[in-house]
């Protein structure tokens, strides 16, 4: 039996076009002798639809789209499609009004509907907000082959692999008891750094443990803060990798299940990225491209400060959208160093993007004059530093509004963590491209980018980072070296460590207390930040839900 | 038996001070012959602690605080305290690592720990993200009286009352089967308009249905976007109200349970607000006061435009913090009408708040000059309108940064819904005071405020609303009348209605389509809005989780 894995890139809520993509793919594989087409979790509405699911009319439209699709699909092809379906009994049994479902379509009809059993409700996931768990193991038979179906999280609860359970039941072990021939997992599993290695180890473990081949189809593309990396997989019953889809791009993988051996045949295996910098780079490029296009924009602008963060964001944007669609704006102030301008011009030249230069000295003086009656006798400080940043933010938004270019913000995760960024200033933008990229990773990606030729000018990488909001200012005046800062932040943000634990690990107590306090105090800024592309296990954003008014 | 209901106002995460408040209250009631002291759900850490719960050290500190409190409390008093406790079996049984618990403290020891059974995961609630459900009915006996304990949501699942179930089990009916003498519900139930009437009807229904008296203790005070209104209650077994705590303020209510009659005796009943405008007003005053003080601020500033929104916010702030702690800033532009200045001055005078006037004409010209090389030949439009708003936003933030006053933003819910507000401009602020108040309600609160003397100048209430960002502009140039707009928004935002349903209800199709599109397109602005005080069933903010890049 030939099976096709469609690594699709749906747009959230765009039922019509998502259905069209599925149909196109189905028509294509039907001519290639494929019996079964797999699409990702919630392939009809995209993952995550979030509160669109609370609109009953959206669910109705989704069902209508599914039935139309059933009629339109090639009749001999079996197709699995992900969608939300009503839970007819919730009024009586309690629970949520929906299931996270997979429909099996064949011969013009919806033959069966299966429900996801394990509903992730942690980090960025809110599935208990919308869905009730399915209670039955999901399997079906095609051409005499009994197929066990799991949906994403359903497969992520093996206590042997994880050393613990996250849910009471384990759907795959129930399916194995039902003597399935092949296991299929339809997913929308968001990217984070190093996650593919975990997925492969986990799937390999599952294949061997249950002595069943397993196919895993993942969504690809970015939706708001979440990037889906595709990288769909197949493992045979001995745990050997038999196929792998492209990372960070649409793909269509066709594999063959050998009935006599009850196993998958070797197919095409796409390579993984050869280094983590390349992996993050690809993720961010996809994240920018999809956000811009799915929001119906073509062009972006960003402030080019001559620093490494905006240089990297410019490079990502140029790769994602084409250099012609990126405008870099230089806004030097009297405090800007000469190299800030020459470095910004140099990176723009390397990337081939256009630039405009708008000096802000006059506007700074204008604000000084305007505020003179209130500020007379006070010293230059944070207020004045922020005014500069907000003048730039206003100019960028003015250009954005005037020409319809989306503004990209350029702050990194280390800055966002400690609040070394100006709300309504450099934090402005529709998308915070590297908001989940720690500063040390910003450096390493830029070095990797320069592996063949200089893209990020050498001076940008080697000069001491500075916001240049007062004369001679550098970040390290008031922060520990970035190696230390990033290690402490990783412990606080991702590992939930206390100050005491960090001090016990050998970090300076004063530094730790200072960083902890800065992270807490910056919460109000993060709450108002644009969506930031998630590339780590714990990003600020939808998966970071902290109180502000707290002690 | 004498029972005290402590309507406390904890600060999120402030274990030490929250414990101190409980201790002080306990010492006070112990001298009054009270046997049992009730405190709200999660009284030790405050509700909602959100992702602080993911830090294991926070849970450990909470347990240590509880045990210290047990030792410090008067030994003869029984005290119920809400806190998160570890779920020791989650690694084996699956589920989350915590319970939402109530500890019973007596005689220097933690005598028992009970677990909440129904975990709300909808709207602003994320309890499935953190907690595992308790599996046993919770009851205990004091002085021969068997008390059934429920925690907030545990009591909100009566299918007779609601006409449906939200959860499979019903804790109160299980408790009734165990022959409890008295039912106690410890809550942290956020305020929304009209909710107290529902609570009272529901508790009355429960008392009558199970023929048991019921006591309900609610948290009071605001934490970020959520306002808790207190209003704790007691109903006797015949369903008569026997006590009610103050609305929107701390209270301590002492009631007596008559063992012979197995019923509560009549106690003190605080009145409810006599109108919904007064109720919302009180909620917002508390919301502002707590946010400002819990964030360790004393003073606030806001832009005073001469319009009704900023006038109302100024009035709320003056009531919450004292007029001396409120600074109104007038920032007239060449497009500002004369009445915008005189009206702003008049409302400030009525409230007794200070004002400063900072004309922005020079800065507008400065931006025009600065952007001339890019904007030459284009027409005045949205970009220029937004520049004005962002100049004001920058000035307000500069004053905020310079003097340490928190900036209040003044946009109403109708504006936030359709995006008639400028991101990084008038949306700037630490707290969006009336972001959940529809424009029509803004009008009615202002009229109510003027019931005895003019606080909001008459002209502010009667003149046509305008952003005054271009000559002669009024809101109704491009929006339907606010009566119509607010009704459509209520249907879209709160009732999840489709455009077709609205058209079927008689609204103009073009208007409906326009409003629907505006609401969707403003999502990126709302994502970056400050926390807004929630007063309706469905506020933009933590309970509104919409995708941005969607179709």
Buried b (16+ CB within 10 A) or exposed e, B327-349: bbbbbbbebbeeebbebbbbbbe
Task: Give tens-digit pLDDT for B67-126.
Answer: 999 999 999 999 999 999 999 999 888 999 999 999 999 999 999 999 999 999 999 999
Mean pLDDT along residues B188-207: 98
| Residue ranges in chain A modelled with pLDDT below 70 | none
Q: In the CATH scheme, what is the code of domain A278-472+522-527?
A: 3.40.50.620
Q: Which of these is catalytic: A21, A127, A139, A152?
A: A152
Task: Give tens-digit pLDDT for B141-160.
Answer: 999 999 999 999 999 999 99
Residue numbers in A near B386 (CB within 8 A): 397-398, 401
Looking at residue A297, what is its pLDDT? 98
Q: From A122, which residue of chain B is nearest by alpha-carbon distance?
A: B129
Can you identify the CATH homologous superfamily of domain A2-269? Carbon-nitrogen hydrolase (3.60.110.10)
Residue numbers in A near B290 (CB within 8 A): 549
Hunting for tokens 């993720």 — which residue is that?
A: A283
Q: Which of A171, A362, A547 best tests the B interface by mutation, with the highest count of B CBs <10 A?
A: A547
Looking at residue B371, what is its pLDDT? 98
Q: Is there a contact between A363 and B360 if contact means CB atoms under 8 Å apart?
A: no
- The Cα–Cα gap between B99 and B91 comes to 14
Concerning whether B116 is annotated as a catalytic residue, the answer is: yes
Task: Give tens-digit pLDDT for A413-451.
Answer: 999 999 999 999 999 999 999 999 999 999 999 999 999
> In chain A, where are the structural domains located?
2-269, 278-472+522-527
Residue numbers in A near B224 (CB within 8 A): 547-549
Q: Is there a contact between A356 and B374 if contact means CB atoms under 8 Å apart?
A: yes
Q: Which of these is catalytic: B41, B153, B385, B415?
A: B41
Measured between CB atoms, which of B56, B390, B544 is closest to A394? B390
The distance from CA A364 to its chain's CA centroid, rounded to whole angstroms, is 37
Measured between CB atoms, which of A55, A165, A390 is closest to B94? A165
Hunting for tokens 């443990």 — which residue is that?
A: A209
Q: Which of these is catalytic: A21, A116, A231, A421?
A: A116
Cross-strand partners of A300: A326, A406
- DSSP letters of B338-368? HHHHHHHHHHHHHHT-EEEE---HHHHHHHH
Task: Give tens-digit pLDDT for B111-145.
Answer: 999 999 999 999 999 999 999 999 999 999 999 99
Distance in Å, alpha carbon of B224 to nearest chain A alpha carbon: 6
Task: Give tens-digit pLDDT for B305-351.
Answer: 999 999 999 999 999 999 999 999 999 999 999 999 999 999 999 99
Q: Is there a contact between B358 and A369 if contact means CB atoms under 8 Å apart?
A: no
Mean pLDDT along residues B377-390: 96
CATH of B292-527, one of 3.40.50.300, 3.40.50.620, 3.40.390.10, 3.40.190.10: 3.40.50.620
Instruction: Give percent of chain B above pLDDT 90.
Output: 96
Task: Give tens-digit pLDDT for B472-509.
Answer: 888 888 899 999 999 999 999 999 999 999 999 999 99
Looking at residue B473, what is its pLDDT? 83
- DSSP letters of A298-323? --EEEE--SSHHHHHHHHHHHHHH-G
- The Cα–Cα gap between B97 and B99 comes to 7
Q: Please give the order of strands across the beta sheet that includes A233-235.
A: A138-142, A145-151, A182-187, A213-218, A233-235, A241-244
Looking at residue A199, what is its pLDDT? 98
Can you identify the CATH homologous superfamily of domain B2-271? Carbon-nitrogen hydrolase (3.60.110.10)
Looking at residue B103, what is its pLDDT? 98
Looking at residue A139, what is its pLDDT? 97
- The Cα–Cα gap between B4 and B7 comes to 9
Confidence of residue B469 (pLDDT cuts 50, 70, 90): confident
- DSSP letters of B282-318? HHHHHHHHHHHHHTT---EEEE--SSHHHHHHHHHHH
Looking at residue A73, what is its pLDDT? 98
Looking at residue B472, what is its pLDDT? 82
Q: Which of A167, A549, A550, A551 best tests the B interface by mutation, with the highest count of B CBs <10 A?
A: A549
Concerning whether A116 is annotated as a catalytic residue, the answer is: yes
pTM of the model: 0.97
Cross-strand partners of A428: none
Mean pLDDT along residues B402-410: 98
């Amino acid at each position: 039996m030939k099976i096709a894995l469609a690594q699709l890139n749906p747009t959230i809520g765009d039922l019509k076009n998502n259905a069209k993509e599925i149909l196109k793919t189905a028509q294509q594989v039907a001519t290639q002798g494929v019996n079964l087409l797999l699409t990702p979790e919630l392939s009809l509405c995209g993952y995550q639809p979030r509160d669109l699911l609370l609109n009953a009319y959206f669910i109705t439209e989704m069902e209508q789209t599914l039935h139309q699709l059933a009629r339109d699909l090639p009749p001999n092809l079996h197709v699995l499609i992900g969608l939300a379906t009503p839970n007819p009994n919730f009024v009586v049994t309690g629970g949520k009004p929906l299931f996270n479902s997979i429909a099996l379509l064949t011969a013009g009809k919806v033959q069966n509907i299966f429900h996801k059993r394990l509903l992730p409700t942690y980090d960025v996931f809110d599935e208990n907000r919308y869905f009730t768990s399915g209670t039955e193991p999901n399997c079906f038979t095609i051409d005499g082959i009994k197929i066990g179906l799991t949906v994403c999280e359903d497969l992520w609860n093996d206590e042997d692999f994880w050393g613990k359970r996250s849910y009471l039941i384990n759907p795959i072990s129930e399916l194995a008891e039902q003597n399935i021939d092949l296991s299929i997992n339809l997913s929308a599993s968001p990217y984070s750094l190093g996650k593919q290695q975990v997925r492969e180890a986990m799937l390999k473990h599952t294949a061997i443990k249950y002595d069943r081949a397993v196919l895993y189809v993942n969504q690809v593309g970015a939706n708001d803060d979440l990037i889906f990396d595709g990288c769909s997989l197949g493992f045979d019953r001995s745990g050997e990798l038999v196929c792998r889809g492209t990372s960070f791009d649409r793909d269509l993988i066709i594999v063959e299940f050998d009935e006599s051996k009850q196993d998958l045949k070797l197919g095409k295996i796409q390579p993984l990225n050869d280094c983590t910098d390349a992996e993050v780079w690809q993720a961010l490029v996809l994240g920018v491209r999809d956000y811009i296009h799915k929001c119906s924009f073509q062009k972006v602008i960003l402030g080019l400060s001559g620093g490494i963060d905006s240089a990297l964001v410019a490079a990502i944007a140029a790769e994602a959208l084409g250099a012609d669609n990126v405008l870099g704006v230089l806004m030097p102030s009297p405090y800007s160093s000469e190299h800030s301008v020459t470095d910004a011009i140099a990176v723009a030249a390397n990337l081939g993007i256009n630039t405009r230069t708008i000096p802000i000295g006059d506007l700074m003086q204008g604000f000084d004059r305007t505020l003179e009656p209130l500020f007379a006798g006070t010293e230059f400080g944070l207020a004045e530093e922020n005014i500069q940043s907000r003048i730039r933010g206003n100019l960028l938004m003015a250009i954005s509004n005037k020409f319809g270019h989306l503004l990209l913000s350029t702050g990194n995760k280390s800055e966002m963590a400690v609040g070394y960024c100006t709300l309504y200033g450099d934090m402005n933008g529709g998308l915070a491209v590297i908001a989940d990229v720690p500063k040390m990773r910003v450096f390493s990606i830029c070095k990797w980018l320069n592996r063949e030729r200089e893209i990020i000018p050498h001076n940008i990488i080697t000069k001491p980072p500075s916001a240049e909001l007062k004369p001679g200012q550098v970040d390290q005046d008031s922060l520990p070296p970035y190696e230390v800062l990033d290690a402490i932040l990783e412990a606080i943000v991702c590992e939930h460590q206390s100050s005491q634990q960090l001090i016990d690990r050998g970090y300076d107590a004063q530094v730790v207390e200072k960083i902890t306090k800065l992270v807490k105090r910056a919460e109000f800024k993060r709450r108002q930040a644009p969506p930031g592309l998630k590339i780590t296990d714990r990003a600020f954003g939808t998966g970071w839900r902290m109180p502000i008014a707290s002690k």
